[in-house]
């Protein structure tokens, strides 16, 4: 019988630092670029974060590997299907043995810097599978950046700790933004990162940002 990862879902509400401004509802007419000084103040004035984790089927985890821009890692010696626990009688002994003990989870973690209309948000969506409580067999990570006025120039995803074969892994998701001001030739270019840890028990946690 397949073992499902026991998922510890973290639902984190809006967090603010002392004196940090909360995001305001957009006025009639929508967002408009501000002066460089006002834009800089809003781009760095507050933050919020959140994380949602859930158990998923092996089939859903496998489908995540086909998402555009996804970075995928698989345990050496296993196919993608075997790494998510979809082994069969025709596969290797190791894959068959792992199939019933493998479970999968998905986590969407995000961090936002600044307040409307100069907010910049990074979202790390990661699917992973593991032999319960032992080691990671599969991972697929995707990074998205967005904001109201701030467009995303680039994103990247990098493993900075643990990984396939370990009982945990930490991903660093990064993004660079372009935030226009009322002066056409002055644009802000902030960049940020988000660190998220996941493990072979289906747990996840935001452990760093900057």
Question: What's the pLDDT band for 17 if we cut at 50, 70, 90?
Answer: very low
**Mean pLDDT within 68-97:** 83
- pLDDT at 131 > cutoff 60: yes
The mean of the pLDDT values for the chain is 87
Residue 6: per-residue pLDDT: 54
- pLDDT at 21 > cutoff 50: no
pLDDT in tens, 154-189: 999 999 999 999 999 999 999 999 999 999 999 999
Q: How far is CA 30 from CA 7, 38, 85, 145, in A?
A: 40, 17, 48, 20
Tell me if the bond preceding 11 is cis, omega within 30° of 0: no
User: In sequence order, what DSSP letters do the residues of 146-165 get, joined into one string?
Assistant: E-SS-EEEEEEEEEEEE-BT
Contact 66, 58 (CB under 8 A): no
**Mean pLDDT within 115-135:** 97
Question: What's the pLDDT band for 101 if we cut at 50, 70, 90?
Answer: confident
Residue 87: per-residue pLDDT: 74
Beta-sheet strand order (sheet of 47-56) = 47-56, 102-113, 120-131, 135-146, 71-74
Question: What's the pLDDT band for 96 if we cut at 50, 70, 90?
Answer: low
SS3 82: helix
- pLDDT at 134 > cutoff 60: yes
> Among residues of the chain, what percentage have pLDDT more than 90?
78
Question: What's the pLDDT band for 19 if we cut at 50, 70, 90?
Answer: very low
- What pTM value is reported for the model? 0.85
């Amino acid at each position: 019988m397949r073992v499902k990862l026991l998922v510890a879902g973290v639902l984190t509400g809006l967090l603010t630092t002392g004196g940090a401004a909360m995001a305001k509802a957009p006025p009639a007419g929508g967002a408009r670029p501000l002066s460089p000084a006002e834009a800089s103040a809003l781009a760095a004035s507050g933050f919020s974060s959140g994380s949602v984790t859930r158990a998923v089927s092996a089939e859903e985890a496998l489908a995540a590997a086909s998402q555009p821009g996804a970075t995928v890692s698989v345990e050496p010696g296993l196919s993608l299907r075997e790494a998510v626990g979809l082994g069969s009688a025709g596969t290797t002994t190791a894959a068959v043995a792992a199939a019933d003990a493998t479970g999968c989870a998905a986590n969407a973690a995000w961090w936002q810097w600044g307040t409307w209309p100069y907010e910049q948000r990074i979202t790390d969506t990661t699917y992973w599978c593991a032999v319960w409580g032992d080691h990671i067999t599969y991972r697929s990570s995707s990074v998205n950046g967005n904001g109201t006025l701030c467009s995303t120039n680039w994103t990247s995803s990098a493993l900075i700790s643990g990984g396939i074969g370990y009982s945990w892994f930490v991903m660093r998701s990064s993004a660079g933004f372009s935030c226009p001001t009322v002066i056409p030739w002055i644009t802000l270019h902030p960049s940020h990162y988000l660190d998220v840890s996941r493990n072979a028990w289906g747990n996840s946690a935001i452990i760093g940002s900057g």
